[in-house]
Amino acid sequence: MLVGPNSTGKTSFLALIRALWDVAFREVVPNFREEPYDLGSFEDIVSNGSRTLTNETRFFRGEFRSGIYLGSLEDTIGFAANFENWQTAPYPNVRTFCSDGVMVELRATESRDGGVQVRLRTGEITWPDPGNEMAATHSSGFVPLAFLNPMLRRMFGTDNQHVDRFFDIMDAIAESAPRLIAAAPTRSRPRRTYDPAVLRGDPEGVYIPSYLANLSRQAGDEWQSLKTGLEQFGSQSELFDEIRIRSFGRSDGDPFQIQVRKHSGPKSRRRKGPWHNVIDVGYGVSQALPMLTELLRPEPPTMFLLQQPEVHLHPQAQAALGTLFCKVAAGGRQLLVETHSDNIIDRVRMDVRDQTTGLKPEDVSILYFEPGDLDVKIHSIRLDEMGNVVDAPQGYRQFFTDEMMRSIGL
């Protein structure tokens, strides 16, 4: 969870995660202006406020380590990229992959025409000799490691078990790369009646209504499972108790509506209320629905990047969202959540304390972005087994403490 004041870089942090993911797993040149993040040109990204670039700001670097679980193959891979200014945009001119003592470095040629120099290192040995580095080209202008794997296998052979294992991992990633979704802080506006649309993923969830309609028309187990998950959250958050797709025809091309309804009365004799169009029940339902669908859908992505998921949700719904995040994370998926909601954070802390989903303290990290004069310091805050915050800096939640003291007259 990423917390801290506005304009401290939380969204930029998410944008860098997506960029590294695109380079490492999708093997494409990332677009730092792609929705839901628009960080501007290279100079906008590396500027420190003075608008003066120095030798140290001719490039920036990002890196991460990731556990890879692909069928029976389990390993950890390290990845790093250097981004240089190329035609006003960041270009990953150096990419480094490493695992189990093996490192492969891909360095783009100066012309950025798809040429690449390759260096492989095992322990203290560098293959090939720097004077004989291999060059290769790819039609896309950006050479994927998967494209190089067959050539590299022939060059280095399979005598070294570590090298062979490394390329097995790279081949497996190329065949089944982990998927990522980046969600916008505000989702698509609700409509009274929808026309079917192309099912193409987008940060605002514009395609989600058509996805739900297609799934409901199939009336299979996947729709029932998703419908049950949506209704469970709707009931816990008191947003709705039932959801349905009302179709105006029998074919997939016919228009449709999304409707919800709430139950009333004591649990012993609950009464079902009338169905309401999603546009008539407030923004909370329509803003939460794309995010909930992505979290609960069959075959969900490996990682979610979420900006302010609490937008338009009342405190009880925010708390229910925190509980849902714990369930999703406990299932082996990773969430990076930028939030200003104490209700979400408190639910996560209580889940760790109560062991509701099995999340352990080491499964949760809170990154606090503390603003300075012209920079930001990121503090890593832990939770203990009782869900208490550990190693928090003095400024963390200082505003809330001061406000509480003022409210009680101290």
SS3 label, residue 375: coil
Q: What's the pLDDT tens digit per position in 15-47?
A: 999 999 999 888 888 999 999 999 988 888 887
Calculate mean pLDDT across residues 296-320.
Answer: 92
Same domain? For 37 and 152 the reply is yes
Domain final residue, candidates 146, 175, 204:
175
How would you label 181-197 residue by residue, b for 16+ Cβ within 10 Å and e otherwise? bbbbbebbebeeebebe
Phi/psi for 151 (5° steps) reads: -65, -40
Looking at mean pLDDT, say which of 48-52, 67-71, 126-130, 213-217 comes out highest: 213-217
Distance CA 70, CA 231 (A): 32
- Pairing type for strands 334-338 and 303-307 reads parallel
Confidence of residue 77 (pLDDT cuts 50, 70, 90): confident
Domain assignment of residue 181, yes or no: no
Same domain? For 35 and 94 the reply is yes
Same domain? For 40 and 169 the reply is yes
Domain assignment of residue 288, yes or no: no
* 279 and 270 Cβ atoms separated by less than 8 Å: no
Same domain? For 319 and 233 the reply is no
How far, rounded to the nearest angstrom, does the alpha carbon of residue 22 sit from its chain's CA centroid?
12
Q: What is the pLDDT of residue 153?
A: 73
Q: What is the pLDDT of residue 49?
A: 58
Q: State the Cα angle at 409 between 403 and 410, rounded to 5°.
A: 80
Domain final residue, candidates 137, 152, 175:
175
Joined together, the tokens standing for residue 304 give: 């979610």
Q: What is the pLDDT of residue 124?
A: 52
Q: What is the pLDDT of residue 379?
A: 94
Joined together, the tokens standing for residue 91 give: 């270009």
How many residues in total does the chain contain? Answer: 410
Calculate mean pLDDT across residues 240-250.
Answer: 92
Same domain? For 360 and 213 the reply is no
Domain assignment of residue 322, yes or no: yes
Domain assignment of residue 2, yes or no: no
Domain assignment of residue 111, yes or no: yes
Same domain? For 165 and 201 the reply is no
For the chain, how many structural domains are there in total?
Answer: 3
- Average pLDDT over the chain, rounded to an integer: 85
Percent with pLDDT over 90 in the chain: 48
Domain assignment of residue 180, yes or no: no
CA nearest 375: which of 15, 47, 40? 47
The H or E element spanning position 140 is none
Confidence of residue 140 (pLDDT cuts 50, 70, 90): low
Same domain? For 107 and 253 the reply is no
Flag the least confident range among 62-76, 110-124, 349-363.
110-124
Look at residue 131 and tell me whether its pLDDT is greater than 50.
Answer: no
ω into 36 cis (within 30 of 0): yes
Same domain? For 310 and 387 the reply is yes
Look at residue 315 and tell me whether its pLDDT is greater than 70.
Answer: yes
Location of structure tokens 């009274």? 192
Boundaries of domain holding 311 = 302-410
Same domain? For 107 and 223 the reply is no
Domain assignment of residue 90, yes or no: yes
Domain final residue, candidates 110, 141, 175:
175
**What is the amino acid identity at position 285?**
V
Same domain? For 170 and 268 the reply is no
Calculate mean pLDDT across residues 207-232.
Answer: 92
CA nearest 190: which of 290, 261, 263, 275? 290
Same domain? For 22 and 131 the reply is yes
Same domain? For 72 and 32 the reply is yes
* 207 and 201 Cβ atoms separated by less than 8 Å: yes
Look at residue 127 and tell me whether its pLDDT is greater than 80.
Answer: no
Domain assignment of residue 291, yes or no: no
DSSP 241: S
